[in-house]
Chain A
Amino acid sequence: MKTVGMSDEVHKELMGLKINYGYKRTDHLLEEMIREFKKEKLLEASEAIRERMARKKMSLKQLMERSRKAREEIYNEWFH
């Protein structure tokens, strides 16, 4: 077990969530918060990439073709 310092206000918010949502352990609440944070960040990444693809009028198929070319380059640079 490790301890993490936090302000009284954040601690109060955390305990409120724990009680209101019926978590037996703060650990479980934090685990779920971490998972949701990671999902959110990935959704942001997905949105940013889709937006660039739309701007450049690039399809998924085209992107994958470019990716295959990059793969060939990397193999030649790293393993030859």
Chain B
Amino acid sequence: MSGSIKVVTDTNVYFMFFYDSASKAGKLIEYAIAGSTELFSPDTVREELKRVLVRELDFDEAQSEKLINYLPTRWVDKEIYQEFLTKAKIIKHMPDRPLMALAIALNCGIITANIKDFKPAAKLVKIWKIDELLEVLNNLRKAKLS
């Protein structure tokens, strides 16, 4: 996957895809399956997805694990990013900090629907707007084909 764009992906992007697979989030997932981008998420995002699927939508643990495992995502344990949580304090909302810490650890950007809360993070990492990321990925795809 060398040469692909790494991006830390927030839970809301996955839910937008699940809700509408033809959405922009769905396009991003397609690029990830094709290997044009690599999606990374902290283990907290995986746990968040699991709790919502189990508690709110009544999936059992095994079903929720199965659905989550279909995502083309590399899940990262907190041991990898927790040393960057101090730097992640630039984000006021503490529960968002694992995403920020992981982006710092991997030296890559973040894709989230919650641009407002992540705005201060732009001093340290790229905060992608989905249209912008899709345009870059589309241009890379065109360049590869030509």
Contact = CB atoms under 8 A, between A and B. Distances in A.
A46 interface: yes
Contact-size category for A: 20 to 34
Interface residues of B, number: 39
A27 to B, nearest CB: 14
Contacts, number: 93
A39, A46, A56, A78: most-surrounded residue (chain B CB, <10 A): A46
A56 B47 contact: no
A67 B20 CA distance: 17
A67 B12 contact: yes
Interface string B35-50: 0000000001001110
Interface string A41-80: 1111110111011001010100110111011111100110
Given A49-B57, A66-B56, A72-B95, A35 B33 contact: yes
Q: In this complex, which of B67, B78, B85 has the most chain A Cβ atoms within 10 angstroms of its Cβ?
A: B67
A13 to B, nearest CB: 23
B16 A35 contact: no
Nearest to A79: B85
Contacts of B105: none
Interface of A: 35, 38-39, 41-46, 48-50, 52-53, 56, 58, 60, 63-64, 66-68, 70-75, 78-79
Interface of B: 11-12, 15-21, 26, 29-30, 33-34, 44, 47-49, 51-53, 55-59, 67, 70-72, 78, 82, 85, 94-98, 113
